[in-house]
Structure 1
Amino acid sequence: MSGEARLEILSRIYKAGVKPPGQAVPTPPAGLPRPRVQVVEQFAEYAAEYRAQVRGCTEAELRSTIAALLAGERAILPPGLPPEWTEGASHASDSGQSHRELSSFGAVVTGCAVAIAETGTVVLDHGAGQGRRALTLIPDHHICVVYESQVVDSMPQGVAALGAGVRAGRPLTFISGPSATSDIELSRVEGVHGPRRLDIVLVSADVSSGLG
């Protein structure tokens, strides 16, 4: 098929309003946002497809939910993490431990800056309650607390929400499921570049704790 013929066919498809296979589903026009419940449900569904374990709870259930997920693991906690999240448990606070020292901890508990529904992604800008990057890459188990109010619909909305962290010069970490890679035979291996286990605790609350 000549280039002119292909261009003609594509032009006709475009004029007819038919979207080529694989093109992303368009987001609703500005001013017509989806209901919050749909946005949150999509985030939970897509995060689970990336093999994250998503567990919902209320604010009152948050401490017991985190304790159940840790199941006796000793966790490292970032500065600024609300103490009530892990109250009564014996965990260590980050005080600049070396990479070797961080590897002795089984888990890390953090908040997040924003969560994106259309990709099932959690984003950390490493502000209060999120810790330095090594803290969320070395321990084998990451428990990330996401308030429903932190979930946005699209990637552009997520990027816009990260403006303060970017202006402050903080790094960004985009997390879609536990760390995974494939070898030349496409055998999936988890935990090579980060935690093998990602638990997302999705908290149903009207307002977030202010982390981020």
Structure 2
Amino acid sequence: MTDKATFLATIRQALAASADAAPADTIIRDYRVETDEKPGSPAVIAEFVEALEDYDVQVLQVESKQVPEAIAQFLTDTHSHSVVVPEGLDPEWAKAAARNGRALCTDSAENPVNKMDLAHIDAVVTASRTAVSLSGSIVLDSQPDQGRRIITLLPDVHVCVVRCSDVQPTVAQAVSILSKHPERPTTWIAGGSATSDIELVRVNGVHGPRTLRVVLVTDC
């Protein structure tokens, strides 16, 4: 049993032993689960792009064949000289990431890039699992085309490829997709990393990349 499974089992046992714990079949879920719009519909994509731009995220909407060019453009625009990619990334996307002499590192569970080296790599390029238009969130679930969580936390720039068909109107719909594989570690991204201290001084890049760029694939 994994540490996560043990942890969750302990919680379930504690809830079952509590006289105040309600049976699972009585949990009320009266929040909005869906909207009138379908995943990936024009209205959903428009809402998603608007939310991303509100986070100062630049978005390029392109067809599948234009994805490599969009990746290369974003890496050039952000002055990235080195980039890490997960081993399962589309080979054409990885090749584009290495254009203009950029140093390319490929990360895998079997051959991971050292975290000290990752801290000095400018950018990371990944795919994504799903996204939420309502919040402008993108979700990764550690599959081969997205890689280990650490590679999307240490580089300063993240270029993320999102397919329009994967953009859900609500958080509940995205969670439903993720719940099919609850064992996978997930990373939720909403714009570049930023935080404020008690004096409300904004600091970028504390908990992840300061810069997020999104390639939105329209024909899938």
Q: Smaller-chain TM-score range?
A: 0.7 to 0.9
- Post-superposition offset of 1:129: 0.6
RMSD: 1.9
Contact preservation (8 Å) 1:43, 1:116: yes
Q: Which residue of 1 aligns with 2:6?
A: none
Letter in 1 for 2:105: A
**Structure 1: gaps (5+ residues):** 1-24, 207-212
Q: Which residue of 2 aligns with 1:179?
A: 193
Q: Which residue of 1 aligns with 2:139?
A: 123
Contact preservation (8 Å) 2:37, 2:43: no
Q: Is 1:170 aligned to residue 174 of structure 2?
A: no
Q: Which residue of 2 aligns with 1:113?
A: 129
Letter in 2 for 1:185: E
- Post-superposition offset of 1:164: 3.0
Q: Is 1:152 aligned to residue 168 of structure 2?
A: yes
Deviating beyond 4 angstroms after TM superposition, the runs of 4 or more aligned structure 1 residues are: 25-29
Q: Deviations over 1:148-170 (max 9, x none)?
A: 0111111111001112331xx11
TM-score by length of 2: 0.76
Q: Is 1:97 aligned to residue 107 of structure 2?
A: no
Contact preservation (8 Å) 1:180, 1:192: yes
Residue identity over aligned pairs, in percent, reads 39
Q: Which residue of 1 aligns with 2:207?
A: 193
Cα distance in 2 between the residues matched to 1:93 and 1:26: 40
Q: Output aligned runs, 1:47-62, within 5 Å.
A: 47-62=52-67
- Taking a change above 3 Å as real, the CA distance of residues 28 and 108 of structure 1, as seen in their structure-2 partners, is closer
- Post-superposition offset of 1:26: 6.0
Cα distance in 2 between the residues matched to 1:137 and 1:187: 21
Contact preservation (8 Å) 1:39, 1:152: yes
Contact preservation (8 Å) 2:34, 2:170: no
Q: Output aligned runs, 1:21-60, within 5 Å.
A: 32-34=36-38, 36-60=41-65
Contact preservation (8 Å) 1:110, 1:131: yes
Q: Which residue of 2 aligns with 1:85?
A: 93
Q: Which residue of 2 aligns with 1:21?
A: none
- Taking a change above 3 Å as real, the CA distance of residues 113 and 64 of structure 1, as seen in their structure-2 partners, is same
Letter in 1 for 2:181: G
**Structure 2: gaps (5+ residues):** 1-30
Cα distance in 2 between the residues matched to 1:27 and 1:161: 13
Number of residue pairs aligned between Structure 1 and Structure 2: 178
